[in-house]
Amino acid sequence: MTRADNMGMDMTNTTDSQQGRQNRPSPFRAAPLPDAPRAVADWPDRASRVREQQEALAALVREDLSRARALAFLVCAVVVTFVAGVVPVMVVDAAEAEGSETTDVAVSLVLGLVLLAVLALPALAVLRGLRRRSSRRFTLMREWAAVERGHDAEFPTQYGVQGYPHGRFFYAAVVLVLVVVLSVAVLADVSDPKVLALLPCLVMAGLLAWSTARKYAGRYGWSTRERLERVRARRRQQQRARLGQAPTAAGGAVTRPPGVHPTLLYAALLAPAVIVTLVFVVVRPEEALGLAVAAALAAAVLALGLPKVLLMRRRERTELDVAARALTSSFPPGTAVYPVRYGLAETQPGAADTAGPSSWDAGPSRTGALAVDGGALRLRGTDGAALDVSLGEVEGVILTPSGAAWAADSVDVLLRSGEAIEFRSPRAGSIVDTLAGAGVQVLKP
């Protein structure tokens, strides 16, 4: 090999190593976020769309839960909180010290400004950058999640998996509670300026903890809705597979799925406290008063939720009844009219603009009325929407119990076109009975 060849190889190796160092991601620079999803028609097939959606969501969620980003946020939050606490305390100490002069206070102010400029401002800039990127990342997560919500579309389970909150949410909530307690303690002693100087530190810590708790609470709610949409699609696919195997005889009475009334749940929670209180009253009457007061306070806390649940249920039924009465004239006289809420797939913005039954299944949530007349399922909405579906186009129907104590059961109507409409109504059982009596196959949940 000639000397020129060796020099060429050395130059090639040097160039490759330089390019490798240039392409190597910097630990202080975040990787680029995935692009926004394109239109559904631009994908060659559904399989590639689902695969690309899974890859984009996995990358976004992985960065959203990155430990390096969490550490950067924690360091900056500690720095900002530290400066917010040290500077006021330092100035107050200089002003209240024996023999202190105006020069001492001025030096403390200058030193505080230096700390703000050198430590606090850069940390705030980093926190602002993290917040802006987090908002952009969450927007992309929602856009990619809306691309495909079918039965074969997987969704990351890192948020709230198995019902447990993420550690950052838990720690932020603990810090927020401690900040509230300490703030009350500080405000209780307003006569000491040194104690009041801690308020800026507590306010800053509370804001940072609140932003973290609020962020992950939003993530939990969003991911729960997305998983429910996919569970809904899988449930419908399984129901369609069952329709041809063991259909329920048409015309038979449909039994409502068993459920637990919220009053029974509260009674079960209060029963142990009541029993323990009664035992202490009998065995140790001298210690029963304090225990009875504690039990009464616990009962009051638990009882606060029951009126709220009952009020929400009453409000829902009142709204549906008003809608049904307003739409009764839209149906032939003597027809049984049932109040319904439709558009339960509230995580699909814009899907309600499509035509046909799909627009009735997609959000936003609306109120209307339903009736079975003349061999057709007739639907009317308070927004002026109308839809008539022949019972021959209805493949089957299922009564599904509600997962919320304040919400009514739902009726899922499966159509032979592959579409479906889910209704929620306080008279869900009567709707299913009417459809069964008209010859529609009914499945048990």
Q: According to the model, what pLDDT value does residue 247 have?
A: 47
CB atoms within 10 A of CB 248: 18
Q: Which two tokens stand for residue 410?
A: 């739902």
Domain count across the chain: 2
Q: Answer whether residue 410 is part of any domain.
A: yes
Domain containing 400 equals 248-445
Q: For residue 140, is it left (φ>0), alpha (ψ between -120 and 50) or beta?
A: alpha
Distance CA 316, CA 294 (A): 35
Q: What CATH number is associated with residue 355?
A: 2.30.29.30
- Same-domain check for residues 98 and 197: yes
Nearest to 149 by CA among 348, 403, 343, 344: 348
Q: According to the model, what pLDDT value does residue 318 have?
A: 84
Q: According to the model, what pLDDT value does residue 278 have?
A: 67
Burial label, 334 (beta-carbon count in 10 A; 0-12, 13-18, 19+): exposed
Which one of 227, 243, 259 terminates a domain? Answer: 243
Q: According to the model, what pLDDT value does residue 250 have?
A: 41
Q: According to the model, what pLDDT value does residue 137 have?
A: 93
- Same-domain check for residues 51 and 198: yes
Q: According to the model, what pLDDT value does residue 23 have?
A: 46
Instruction: Give how far Cα 381 sits from Cα of 182, 316, 320, 410, Å.
Output: 52, 16, 11, 17
- Same-domain check for residues 232 and 276: no
Q: Answer whether residue 2 is part of any domain.
A: no
Which one of 243, 264, 285 terminates a domain? Answer: 243
Decide: helix, strand or coil at residue 248.
strand
Query: Rounded to an integer, what is the distance from CA 288 to the centroid of its chain?
Result: 43
Q: Where are the beta strands (DSSP E) in 9-91?
A: none
Q: Where are the beta strands (DSSP E) in 239-385?
A: 338-342, 366-373, 376-381
- Same-domain check for residues 116 and 265: no
Which position has the token pair 């994908």? Answer: 43
Q: Answer whether residue 80 is part of any domain.
A: yes
Distance CA 416, CA 411 (A): 16
Q: Answer whether residue 94 is part of any domain.
A: yes
- Same-domain check for residues 314 and 417: yes
Distance CA 32, CA 140 (A): 12
Q: Answer whether residue 16 is part of any domain.
A: no
> What pLDDT, in 10s, does the model give residues 181-226?
777 777 766 666 777 778 888 889 989 999 998 888 888 888 888 8
Tell me, what DSSP letter sits at residue 116?
Answer: I
Q: Answer whether residue 14 is part of any domain.
A: no
Decide: helix, strand or coil at residue 206.
helix
Which one of 243, 274, 297 terminates a domain? Answer: 243
Decide: helix, strand or coil at residue 408.
coil
Q: According to the model, what pLDDT value does residue 405 have?
A: 56
- Same-domain check for residues 215 and 72: yes
Q: Answer whether residue 425 is part of any domain.
A: yes
- Same-domain check for residues 94 and 209: yes
> What pLDDT, in 10s, does the model give residues 319-356?
888 888 888 888 888 888 898 888 876 555 444 445 67
- Same-domain check for residues 404 and 422: yes
- Same-domain check for residues 104 and 119: yes
- Same-domain check for residues 226 and 327: no
Q: According to the model, what pLDDT value does residue 160 have?
A: 62
Q: Answer whether residue 6 is part of any domain.
A: no
- Same-domain check for residues 131 and 275: no
* Whether the Cβ atoms of residue 306 and residue 262 lie closer than 8 Å to each other: yes
Distance CA 235, CA 185 (A): 53
- Same-domain check for residues 281 and 416: yes
Which pTM value belongs to this model?
0.64
Instruction: Give how far Cα 167 sits from Cα of 80, 158, 170, 172, Å.
Output: 22, 11, 5, 8
Which stretches of the chain score pLDDT less than 50? 1, 4, 7-12, 14-25, 247-259, 349-353
